[in-house]
């Protein structure tokens, strides 16, 4: 596993890091995001969505649990993105109730999951992890740790 440690000094920088990160994403990929409330998970996702030209409003789907956006892939084709926020999920039944299992294994979308720790056992083995940590000294500083899944020689997620 390769781990990448990044720093952000502002909301804008976190969005820009999301844009940069998105370049490596392919349809079917899962990105598990971790970090406390207000860490910046949604800001990072705004960057990913901006890269894919999503025009819908990108906000944490706290009550709806799963938002669906439409974007544009690099080759110009349309691309589906699921933005999931599991903050309010408390039981396996609730996860099943929102159709998490089918959604997370769907091959026709990129899946971005806030509070992934609530569904750790249901995540496909190959997924990206993005961990965002606040800084005690400065309110607008963040450390972002990205772990990539193993890839084969062609760079495909295995
Ligand atoms: N470096 C930074 N990166 C991201 N957000 C930041 C940063 N500095 C301050 N913020 C603020 O922190 C909040 C992050 O909110 P949000 O992305 O919704 O958090 P989460 O989705 O992790 O709960 C926003 O209000 C944003 O303005
Ligand atoms: Mg959020």
Domain 3-147 = CATH 3.40.640.10: no
Cross-strand partners of 111: 30, 82
Query: Quick one: CA torsion of 39, 41, 44, 50, rounded to 10 degrees?
Result: -140
Q: Where are the domains of the chain?
A: 3-147
Of ligand 1's atoms, which has the minimum distance to the CA of residue 132? 22
What angle separates helix 11-22 from helix 41-51, to the nearest 10 degrees?
A: 50
**pLDDT score recorded for residue 1:** 57
Q: Is 116 in the pocket of ligand 1 (CB under 6 A)?
A: no
Q: Between residues 94 and 158, which one has the greater pLDDT?
A: 94
Query: Cα(76) to centroid of ligand 1, in Å?
Result: 30
What is the average pLDDT across 88-99? 94
H helix intervals, the chain: 11-22, 41-51, 92-97, 100-104
Query: Cα(108) to centroid of ligand 2, in Å?
Result: 23
Of all protein residues, the one whose alpha carbon is nearest to atom 16 of ligand 1 is 40
Terminal CA-to-CA distance of the chain, rounded, Å? Answer: 12
High-pLDDT (> 90) share of the chain, %: 89
**pLDDT score recorded for residue 61:** 83
- The model's confidence at residue 155, banded by pLDDT at 50, 70 and 90, is low
**pLDDT score recorded for residue 64:** 87
> pTM for this structure?
0.94
**pLDDT 10s digits, 128-137:** 999 999 999 9
Mutate-to-test residue for ligand 1 from 8, 33, 35, 43, highest number of ligand atoms within 8 A of CB: 43
**pLDDT 10s digits, 31-81:** 999 999 999 999 999 999 999 999 999 999 888 899 999 999 999 999 999
Cβ atoms of 18 and 39 closer than 8 Å: no
**pLDDT score recorded for residue 152:** 54
Average pLDDT over the chain reads: 93
Going through 40-124 in order, the beta strands assigned E by DSSP cover: 66-72, 78-85, 109-114
CA geometry: angle at 151 spanning 145 and 155, to 5°?
105
């Amino acid at each position: 596993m390769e781990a990448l440690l990044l720093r952000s000094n502002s909301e804008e920088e976190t969005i820009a890091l999301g844009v940069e990160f998105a370049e490596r994403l392919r349809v079917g990929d899962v990105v598990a995001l971790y970090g406390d409330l207000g860490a910046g998970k949604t800001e990072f996702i705004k960057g990913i969505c901006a890269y894919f030209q999503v025009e819908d409003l990108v906000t944490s789907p706290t009550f709806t649990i799963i938002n669906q956006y439409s974007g544009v892939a690099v080759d110009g084709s349309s691309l589906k993105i699921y933005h999931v926020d599991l903050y309010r999920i408390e039981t396996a039944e609730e996860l099943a109730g929102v159709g998490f299992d089918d959604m997370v294994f769907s091959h026709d979308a990129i899946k971005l999951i806030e509070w992934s720790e609530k569904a750790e056992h249901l995540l496909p083995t190959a997924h990206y992890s993005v961990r965002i940590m606040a800084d005690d000294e400065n309110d607008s500083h963040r450390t972002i740790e990205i772990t990539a899944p193993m890839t084969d020689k062609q760079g495909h997620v295995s």
